[in-house]
């Protein structure tokens, strides 16, 4: 549990308790104010009524502002704690970025929900006021209906948890299947089987919607339970004190206090009960965030990549290395020996099988024959929205051998995944994007094989002209590096 969370939990309990006590006191004072107005003591009655309304408004506003502040602080804390998980591509077996972002939003509800929980508990002190104002019968009615509400809330909570887990599972399935089918859309279109993918996505989407509707129905049922029990309790207490009032056994002030305080108790309980979905989501989200280990970004200021006894999923050969600024590392081995897996594990895109890895928090570029481009202008693909002078972009492209009409006009539109240009041109565009982004480390994953001899010379020369750039190149037999400081052999 974080110190930030503990601090806000203490504040939530304090403010929640104060809010309940203020509401009970204001309900009692409201009963007195109405009694005075009924007895035509207008001056004191109106003054007390305005004071009660002012106190209630200040209490609700203060609690709301504090809840917003606490939620914003917790969001900022979790976002700063997990920046690596939220910004880098998803690794194997990791939670999705969207799931972590949603968990942060739901976890930020914790202070408000703690305050509601405390308010509901402290509001039980109102039972003593009900007993004092209206006697045993009103107390028994209120306590009895509160006890009936507890198992109903628990049942609704269990059902909500089951449906929530099912909904998350369906949503994850829909997301992964959509991405998979979109990836294979060209093949499906070529085979005339686009309807297959569309029908499958529609079926999964329909099942997700059905689960969502069940969750909404459970939420509505729980809300109806709280509204029904609250209405019955207030109605029965009002009937009892009304009969006592007619029989002269109770004063108007006591009758009003009993009814208003009973209503106040159920308001707090109803608010707490109606938020059980958010409570469960918040608890699960906090557990999710605490299960995610903050990614290590910096090992030492002089080290950009560090591996200690690293064993990847593709090779049992342990690797230990420390890569410093400007260092050149060549990773060689036959095809299928695990070079790509090693590179992606070094930058935490894959989980290590054993050992540990750490990487710099500064920009890191990864270039492979599978690196994608986006549909949009050439400028957007290269600058990624960062304002960079056209002359600098053009000079970078020229250094990599990308010249001619297609590359001189930065407003040239590229098709999705760079269709219309060759693989060699595409990897050089991705490399240019990496260099323009100011990456301090560039990992080249066997791209020399898709470049002709002239392009390899140009790219090699461009890399030689950036001595401060750290380069890790994996290749079978066509390295772009003309010299290197460390050579790693990856076995089959």
Among 53-57, 89-93, 295-299, which range has the highest average pLDDT? 53-57
Predicted pLDDT of residue 92: 45
311 part of a folded domain:
yes
400 part of a folded domain:
yes
Among the candidates 234, 260, 291, a domain finishes at: 291
Structural domain that includes position 212: 3-291
Predicted pLDDT of residue 366: 92
More confident residue, 32 or 83: 32
Among the candidates 291, 324, 343, a domain finishes at: 291
Domain co-membership, 134 together with 206: yes
Distances (CA, A) of 442 to 34, 46, 60, 337, 453: 76, 74, 54, 21, 21
**pLDDT bracket for residue 190 (50, 70, 90):** low
CATH code assigned at 334: 3.40.50.300
As a residue count, the chain comes to 492
Predicted pLDDT of residue 131: 92
Torsion of CA 267, 270, 276, 282, to 10 degrees: -10
Average pLDDT over residues 213-238: 76
Among 94-98, 100-104, 423-427, which range has the highest average pLDDT? 423-427
pLDDT single digits (tens) 122-145: 999 999 999 999 889 989 988 888
Q: Closest by alpha carbon to 4, among 84, 87, 110? A: 110
Please tell me what DSSP assigns to residue 384.
Answer: T
As for how many domains the chain has, the answer is 2
Please tell me what DSSP assigns to residue 321.
Answer: E
User: For residues 352 and 310, is the Cβ–Cβ distance under 8 A?
Assistant: yes
Average pLDDT over residues 70-81: 78
Average pLDDT over residues 31-59: 89
**Rounded CA separation 349/371 (Å):** 14
Domain co-membership, 186 together with 237: yes
296 part of a folded domain:
no
Average pLDDT over residues 74-87: 66
Percent of the chain with pLDDT over 70: 81
Domain co-membership, 248 together with 199: yes
Domain co-membership, 62 together with 187: yes
Question: Is the pLDDT assigned to residue 300 strictly greater than 60?
Answer: no
Domain co-membership, 338 together with 261: no
Predicted pLDDT of residue 115: 86
User: For residues 218 and 159, is the Cβ–Cβ distance under 8 A?
Assistant: yes
Question: Is the pLDDT assigned to residue 411 strictly greater than 70?
Answer: yes
Beta bridge partners of residue 367, listed in sequence order: 444
For the stretch 299-329, what's the b/e string if a residue is b when 16 or more beta carbons lie within 10 angstroms of its beta carbon?
Answer: beeebbbbbeebbbebbebebebbbebebbb
Domain co-membership, 174 together with 233: yes
Question: Is the pLDDT assigned to residue 94 strictly greater than 60?
Answer: no
Q: Is the dihedral of CA 24, 29, 33, 36 positive or negative?
A: positive
Domain co-membership, 256 together with 350: no
Beta bridge partners of residue 305, listed in sequence order: 323, 359
Question: Is the pLDDT assigned to residue 74 strictly greater than 60?
Answer: yes
Question: Is the pLDDT assigned to residue 488 strictly greater than 50?
Answer: yes
CATH code assigned at 64: 1.20.1560.10
In the predicted model, what is the mean pLDDT of the chain?
81
Predicted pLDDT of residue 291: 67
Question: Is the pLDDT assigned to residue 108 strictly greater than 70?
Answer: yes
Predicted pLDDT of residue 293: 52
Domain co-membership, 221 together with 315: no
Q: Where are the alpha helices (DSSP H) in 82-123?
A: 83-87, 97-107, 110-122
pLDDT single digits (tens) 41-52: 888 888 998 998
Predicted pLDDT of residue 241: 87
Among the candidates 291, 315, 339, a domain finishes at: 291
Domain co-membership, 359 together with 282: no
297 part of a folded domain:
no
Out of 69-78, 366-375, 417-426, least confident range? 417-426
135 part of a folded domain:
yes
40 part of a folded domain:
yes
More confident residue, 53 or 105: 53
More confident residue, 273 or 337: 337
454 part of a folded domain:
yes
Predicted pLDDT of residue 492: 63
**pLDDT bracket for residue 436 (50, 70, 90):** very high
333 part of a folded domain:
yes
Question: Is the pLDDT assigned to residue 365 strictly greater than 60?
Answer: yes
Percent of the chain with pLDDT over 90: 13
Domain co-membership, 42 together with 181: yes
Which residues are within 8 A (CB) of 172 and not within 5 positions of it... i.e. 6 or more apart? 96, 99
Domain co-membership, 153 together with 120: yes
More confident residue, 81 or 141: 141
Average pLDDT over residues 12-36: 90
pLDDT single digits (tens) 340-349: 889 988 888 8
Question: Is the pLDDT assigned to residue 93 strictly greater than 50?
Answer: no
More confident residue, 229 or 22: 22
User: For residues 71 and 112, is the Cβ–Cβ distance under 8 A?
Assistant: yes
Domain co-membership, 175 together with 269: yes
């Amino acid at each position: 549990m974080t110190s930030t969370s503990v601090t806000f939990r203490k504040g939530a309990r304090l403010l929640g308790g104060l809010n309940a006590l203020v509401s009970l006191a204001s309900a009692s004072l409201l009963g007195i104010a109405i009694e005075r107005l009924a007895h035509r003591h207008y001056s004191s009655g109106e003054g007390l009524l305005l004071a009660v309304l002012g106190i209630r408004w200040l209490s609700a506003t203060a609690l709301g502002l504090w809840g917003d502040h606490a939620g914003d602080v917790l969001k900022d804390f979790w976002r700063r704690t997990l920046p690596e998980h939220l910004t880098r591509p998803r690794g194997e077996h990791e939670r999705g970025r969207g799931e972590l972002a949603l968990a942060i939003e739901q976890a930020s509800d914790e202070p408000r929900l703690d305050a509601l929980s405390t308010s509901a508990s402290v509001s039980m002190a109102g039972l003593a006021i009900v007993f004092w104002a209206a006697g045993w019968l009103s107390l028994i009615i209120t306590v009895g209906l509160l006890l009936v509400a507890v198992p109903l809330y628990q049942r609704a909570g269990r059902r909500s948890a089951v449906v929530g887990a099912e909904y998350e599972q369906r949503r994850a399935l829909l997301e992964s299947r959509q991405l998979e089918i979109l990836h294979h859309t060209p093949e499906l279109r070529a085979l005339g089987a686009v309807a297959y993918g569309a029908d499958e996505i529609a079926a999964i989407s329909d099942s997700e919607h059905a689960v969502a509707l069940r969750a909404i129905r459970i939420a509505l049922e729980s809300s109806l339970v709280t509204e029904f029990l609250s209405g019955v309790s207030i109605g029965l207490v009002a009937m009892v004190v009304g009969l006592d009032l007619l029989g002269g056994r109770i004063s108007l002030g006591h009758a009003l206090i009993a009814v208003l305080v009973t209503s106040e108790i159920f308001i707090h309980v109803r608010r707490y009960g109606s938020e059980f979905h958010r409570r469960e989501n918040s608890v699960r989200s906090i557990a999710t965030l605490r299960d995610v280990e903050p990614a290590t970004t910096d090992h030492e200021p002089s080290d950009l990549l560090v591996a200690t006894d690293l064993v990847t999923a593709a090779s049992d050969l342990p690797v230990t290395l420390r890569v410093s600024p400007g260092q050149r590392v060549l990773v060689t081995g036959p095809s299928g020996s695990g070079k790509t897996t090693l590179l992606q594990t070094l930058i935490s895109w894959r989980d290590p099988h054993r050992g540990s890895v750490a990487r710099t928090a500064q920009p890191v570029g990864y270039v492979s024959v599978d690196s994608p481009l986006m549909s949009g202008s050439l400028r957007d693909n290269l600058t990624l929205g960062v304002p960079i002078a056209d002359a600098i972009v053009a000079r970078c492209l020229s250094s990599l051998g990308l010249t001619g009409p297609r590359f001189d006009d930065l407003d040239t539109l590229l098709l999705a995944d760079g269709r219309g240009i060759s693989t060699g041109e595409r990897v050089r565009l991705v490399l240019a994007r990496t260099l323009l982004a100011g990456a301090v480390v560039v990992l080249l994953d066997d791209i020399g094989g898709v470049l002709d001899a002239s392009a390899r010379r140009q790219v090699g020369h461009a890399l030689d002209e950036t001595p401060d750039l750290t380069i890790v190149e994996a290749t079978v037999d066509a390295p772009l590096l003309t010299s290197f400081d460390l050579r790693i052999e990856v076995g089959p």
